[in-house]
Structure 1
Amino acid sequence: MPRLHSGLAVLLGAALVVPVFPAATPAAAAAATGAVCDHQPALNVTAPAGAVAVDPAVEGDLSVKTQASPPGTTFWLPPGTHLLAADQFGQVIPKDGDVYLGAPGAVLDGRGLNRAAFTQLAKNVVIRGLTIRNFVAPQDQGVVNHDSGEHWVIENNTIENNRGAALMAGARQEVRGNCLRGNGQYGMNAYRPDNAITGLVVEGNEIAANNVDDWETRSPGCGCSGGIKFWSVNGADVRGNWIHHNHGAGVWADTNDNDFLIEDNLIEDNDAEAIFYEISYNAVIRHNTIRRNNLVAGGRRASRGDNFPSASVYLSESGGEPRVPARTDLIDVYGNVFEDNWSGITLWENADRFCNSPANTSYATCTKLVSDRNLCAAPGIDDEPLFSDCRWKTQRVEIHSNTFRFDPASPGCAGLCGRMAVLSNYGTYPSWSPYKGTLVQDAITREQDNYWYSNDYTGPWTFVTGDNSRTLTPAQWQASPWYKDDCSSFDGVTPQC
């Protein structure tokens, strides 16, 4: 018999707690269906009362006037091209509460020389209405909020054609209504070495065509590309964005992220995954439109003879964990529409990738349940609680009430498109690993509360379970011993529930 997932708990009279999340704003929902780039509102046409006007004819005027003014000053940049000092370290260093307002046509240009535009650790900085371009941030660094200051509000800017990331993120940062386009590495890189980013809001932006420098080719395996990358962020709302044509993943959360809400986004035509959630915890992914993603990366993988189920939503060593505080204790994927992606959703757990294993690419990082990675070693790891807590588990994932549409005529599929998957590899490494053999394969498929149910499928979908060698029809997927997708419909056939 199938196990009871929380979506059916109410049928047996069990108490069902449904997490409540804030609804997306109308502006955010509208942004997900229309362009932001090249359609920014005409803001700050005249200088506000008391603002310090910046002269575009004076090189470095913005930096000099920022340095000379007290905290909390408002600076107004009139139309024209504003330059910083002719030095790679020419930059603006805001003070707490400073506000930077750009009139229509105000451009801050790094002219291929300056590394960063706004730097250091001031709090409560506002940047609104500017075009910021041609800065040359190094790999993994950003142009705006270079040092991840706290509670910066970055609104209605166009940040484009820079190297590195358009911007970095700090705690409680608000990123709204921006065009983050054509940057060398990321539209945004949410990372601080102290893992102190919390309460991040990314709303109503257009995040397009980033990673023009093709970092995954320049540095294979770096995991350092795409539209947005999150590292160890605790609490993020990503809503109402148009995330498209990025050369890599659209949204990538990597390494101990937690408490994410990804909703009401239009995510399309990204070379790799629409959403990649990796060695992380607790998320709600709902009401997104996800289409034509991973066609480039999936096709490239297939051309090499690799039959791994490359997905549009990839949950890798990630799951719900009640012991990690968040707004949900699941990864809850519902109410989304998937159209003509390379494949659907893959749940994966690498049996050899766990805390303190040499196979863990985030080698210095442990799970959120173990304070010292050195504890995850023989012989202690053979016993509880370390046996359980040293693994990033793909567990407590619920995939329901989604629509999956797939046209088999997509070029280059070679029978490898249109798949759903839950699988692991056969554990072999390292020699002292307690997770060898099929232990993790059995756990992810049948023991870790991963459920599909009440979905609607159109097209010749197939299903991969356990490992790459097992491909199932819908009827086999629903039958013993897998029991997936109860109450789901296939090509319009009404399910029997």
Structure 2
Amino acid sequence: MPRPHSALVVLLTAAFVIPVFPAAAPAAVAAAGLTGAVCDHQPALNPQAPAGAVVVDAGVEGDLSVKTRSAAPGTTFWLPPGTHRLAADQFGQVIPKDGDVYLGAPGAVLDGGGINQAAFTQQAKDVVIRGLTIQNFVAPQDQGVVNHDSGEHWVIENSTIQNNRGAALMAGIRQVVRANCLRGNGQYGMNAYRPDNAITGLVVEGNEISDNNVDDWETRNPGCGCSGGIKFWAVNGADVRGNWIHHNHGAGLWADTNDNDFLIEDNLIEDNDAEAIFYEISYNVVIRHNVIRRNNVVAGSRRASRGDNFPSAAVYLSESGGEPRVPARTDVLDVYGNTFEDNWSAITLWENADRFCNSPANTSSASCTKLVTDRTRCSAPGIDDEPLFDDCRWKTQRVEIHSNTFRFDPARPGCAGLCGRMAVLSNYGTYPAWSPYRATVVQEAITHDQDNYWYSNDYVGPWTFVAGDSSRTLTPEQWQNDPWNQDDCASFDGVTPNC
């Protein structure tokens, strides 16, 4: 079979310059050693007010908002121990100015009281929030409590943002989210979205992100795609590293619709109800040195109980892949050096033959690929010919899955042969009538023609493989031979073929 191409290249993004991904430590060591409990283990920061800081009075309702309004940009505010409240109004909020800094002493709590929708709002730049507990705000669906309006370059560190409705926080350009506890929020730990799709340079590092989607949005609004630990929308450049992402009621990390240039490394991702990582209609990502265990057991077993044989997996790569024409630090989708343990299944590469730009079957109906600016061009008869025939599809292409360890214990209730699988597949194209991707066009492309390769992986347990469509289950020997030719130099239960 053709050899995989080079994984990393140095390119410039439209908004910022970033280096090639550096080398990282081995997966299990890095993820197990660098991630851990942040919730209830925050350091005792800011015990006293720094020189020149404005001291906020916990006994005066709305004092933080009033003092912020009256101070000059770049002021530091210190919140002493105690429960601080905003005005008793749903729109009671703090509106920072550029460069404002908010420091919480140990025991400082900003409490929305089930009344206030948001804590920190508007679009000031370079705001810092450190050492605060922020809780009991009631943000509406898809809105956030902290950085509600996605201001630029906010730094949110060593804070606990918990038990809120909506999202704990929104993301902005060059935002840094470090060493926070984001737990028990109604929808997301973070919603990385701006209406102008301008988020670049996002850093999410060393956080504990757990038990989010308390309000179970996928049940309340089926098909909304609006739940989990973090949801990313059209983010161009994100580093997600060293986090503990666990027990979220949905996916742990979900990148949806034209995300690009992600590095997901050294995370411990475990016990999430749905996927550990869901990368959907997006581009160019490296997923490396993560420990991924016991994910998608809830959603996978629920699907199996309905008789649905789709290979639901811990890492779900849906209409996503490497694209050299979209600038990023890599031009592939590279999955390597990870340890997978007892997930429902491991990795599924999927492409919906009926989902493409301007198709009625595209759930992201207002979006087109990054290669076509006018989605109306993706229609008959022009879509039948190049370049639109290629460029109107989000493609699962240029995916490399190598040097990973996959462990699986089949003694799981409800498995019935539908867990412990690896898959690359598509549906039979049927819709719309003018689609050039009907019949087996996409099935053939994703399995044979789009440079998707597994190689040099280690398997422990009775793994099976799905290729082409969900009706075809393969043994390791079939998987490695014609016509699939996958997993050169893989080992199965310690036995490695000559290679």
| TM value normalised by structure 2 | 0.96
Among candidates 386, 389, 400, match of residue 387 of structure 1: 389
SS at structure 1 position matched to 2:134: strand
2:165 paired with 1:166: no
Contact map agreement 2:9 2:331 (CA 8 A) in 1: no
Q: State whether structure 2 residue 437 is matched by structure 1 residue 438.
A: no
Partner of 1:187: 189
* Partner deviation per Cα, 1:179-208 (whole Å, 9 max, x = no partner): 000000000000001000000000000000
1:478 aligns with 2:480: yes
8 Å Cα contact 1:24/1:239 also seen in 2: no
1:6 is displaced (CA, Å) by: 2.0
- Counterparts of residues 362-401 of structure 1 (less than 5 Å): 362-401=364-403
Equivalent position amino acid for 2:21 in 1: F
CA distance in 2, matches of 1:392, 1:113: 42
Amino acid at match of 1:123: K
1:34 Cα shift? 1.6
Distance in 2 (CA, whole Å) between partners of 1:266 and 1:347 is 22
Q: Is the 8 A contact 1:294 1:310 kept in 2?
A: yes
- C-alpha change, 1:113 and 1:268, in structure 2 (3 Å) is same
Partner Cα separation in structure 2 for residue 84 and residue 475 of structure 1: 64
Q: Deviation digits for residues 391-433 of structure 1, max 9, x if unmatched?
A: 0000000000000000000111111010000000000000110
Change (3 A) 1:290 1:239: same
Match of residue 453 from structure 1:
455
Give the 5 Å matches for 1:243-254. 243-254=245-256
Cα distance in 1 for partners of 2:150, 2:288 equals 28
When normalised by structure 1's length, the TM-score is: 0.96
Report the Cα distance in structure 2 between the residues aligned to 1:440 and 1:125, rounded to whole angstroms: 47
Task: Trace 1:42-121 onto structure 2 (pairs within 5 A).
Answer: 42-121=44-123
SS of corresponding position for 2:284 = strand
The 2-side partners of 1:253 and 1:334 are apart by: 19
- Number of the residue aligned with 1:4: 3
Match for residue 274 of structure 2? 272
Identity among equivalent positions (%) equals 86
Relative to structure 1, the CA distance from residue 404 to residue 350 in structure 2 (aligned partners, 3 Å threshold; closer, same or farther) is same
Distance in 1 between residues matched to 2:379 and 2:187, nearest whole Å: 36
Q: 1:29, 1:204 within 8 Å by CA — same for their partners in 2?
A: no
Q: Counterpart amino acid of 2:96? A: P
Q: Which residue does the alignment assign to 1:13?
A: none
Other-structure match for 2:143:
141
Gaps of 5+ in 1: 10-15
Structure 1 equivalent of residue 13 of structure 2: none
CA distance in structure 2 between the aligned counterparts of 1:236 and 1:248, rounded to whole angstroms: 21
Equivalent position to 2:350, from 348, 367, 384: 348
Relative to structure 1, the CA distance from residue 51 to residue 22 in structure 2 (aligned partners, 3 Å threshold; closer, same or farther) is farther
Which of the numbers 235, 238, 241 marks the counterpart of 2:237? 235
Query: Counterpart amino acid of 1:141?
Result: Q
Matched AA of 2:310 = F
Which deviations, in whole Å up to 9, do the C-alpha atoms of 1:319-353 show, x marking residues without a partner?
00000000000000000000000001000000000
Over the residues paired in the alignment, what is the CA RMSD in angstroms? 1.5
Give the partner amino acid of 2:40.
D
1:495 deviation in Å?
A: 2.3
- Judge conservation of contact 1:31–1:242 (CA < 8 Å) in 2: no
Q: Which runs of 5+ in 2 are unaligned?
A: 11-18
Contact 1:24-1:240 within 8 A present in 2 as well: no
In structure 1, the residue matched to 2:311 is 309
Partner of 1:407: 409
**Aligned-partner residue type, residue 287 of structure 2:** I
Contact preservation (8 Å) 1:283, 1:330: yes
The answer on whether the counterparts of 2:261 and 2:330 sit within 8 Å (CA) in structure 1 is yes
CA contact (8 A) 2:270 2:294 kept: yes
Answer whether contact 2:9 2:330 (CA < 8 A) is retained. Answer: no
2:280 alignment partner AA: E
* Cα contact 2:339–2:406 (8 A) shared by 1: yes
**1 CA distance for matches of 2:55 and 2:347?**
51
Distance 1:332 1:5 in 2: 10
- Candidates 203, 215, 221, aligned match of 2:223: 221
* 1:210 counterpart residue number: 212
Determine the structure 1 residue equivalent to 2:259: 257
Distance 1:73 1:31, change over 3 A: farther
Question: How much has 1:3 moved relative to structure 2?
Answer: 2.0
Contact conserved, 2:138 with 2:164, CA < 8 A, in 1?
yes
Query: 1:273: Cα distance to partner?
Result: 0.2
Counterpart of 2:158 in structure 1 is 156
Partners of 1:186 and 1:333 in 2: how far apart? 25
**Count of residues paired in the alignment:** 488
- Contact kept? 2:32, 2:268, Cα under 8 Å: no
Q: 1:492 aligns with which of 465, 490, 494?
A: 494
> For the residues of structure 1 that align with 2:192 and 2:354, how far apart are their CA atoms?
27
> CA offset at residue 23 of structure 1?
5.7
Classify the secondary structure of the residue corresponding to 1:422. strand
Distance 1:103 1:247, change over 3 A: same
Q: Does 1:467 align with 2:479?
A: no
Q: Deviations over 1:429-450 (max 9, x none)?
A: 0011000000000000000000
AA matched with 1:249: A
Q: Offset at 1:4?
A: 2.2
Structure 1 stretches of at least 4 aligned residues deviating more than 2 Å after TM superposition = 16-20, 22-26, 28-33
TM-fit CA distance, 1:30: 7.1
Cα 1:158–1:87 change in 2 (3 A) is same
